[in-house]
Amino acid sequence: MPRRCARAAQRAAGTNADALTAAGFQNGRRMFEAACAVCHAESGGVGHLGVRPLMGLNTSVSQASPENLLRVMMHGIDQPATEGLGYMPGFKDSFDDQQLAELAGYIRARYAPGQPAWHDLAATAARVREAVH
């Protein structure tokens, strides 16, 4: 990748929400603001999905495979790590695979800017949806 592109990609992948919007993540951003931000609001720290739950420490966002993140988004969390954390609803009936793919792509770019983008997210979402859990 030419150096200028690499820098642009790096910028787009940073925590600047406006840059992400410009980079084509506006759908994902909109869904995040509507469905997730209420609990995972911005905290401003790099790498944080915004913490009430400690998303900055959350590995599903920075893993090589998007499956864990997609699974959490679809099925939620009904067994919180600690009692104080509370529960997370599942979104499998609110979003289709394409929407989940865009949302996961946005979350990846924004909260794991050092990691390469995930590919075939919609297909992976379809597979996770079919999987027995």
Binding site for ligand HEC (CB under 6 A): 35-36, 38-40, 53, 58, 60-61, 68-69, 72-73, 77, 80-81, 85-89, 91, 107
Q: Residues near 112 by Cβ (< 8 Å), separated by ≥ 6?
A: 47, 61, 62
Find the shortest distance in angstroms from Cβ 105 to ligand HEC: 11
Closer residue to ligand HEC, CB minimum distance, 11 or 56 = 56
* Shortest spacing between CB 78 and ligand HEC, in angstroms: 9
For ligand HEC, the closer CB: 20 or 69: 69
- Cβ proximity to ligand HEC: between 12 and 36 the closer is 36
**Long-range contacts, stretch 10-18, CB < 8 angstroms, 24+ apart:** 10/113, 12/109, 13/109, 13/110, 13/113, 14/113, 15/46, 15/110, 15/111, 15/113, 17/110
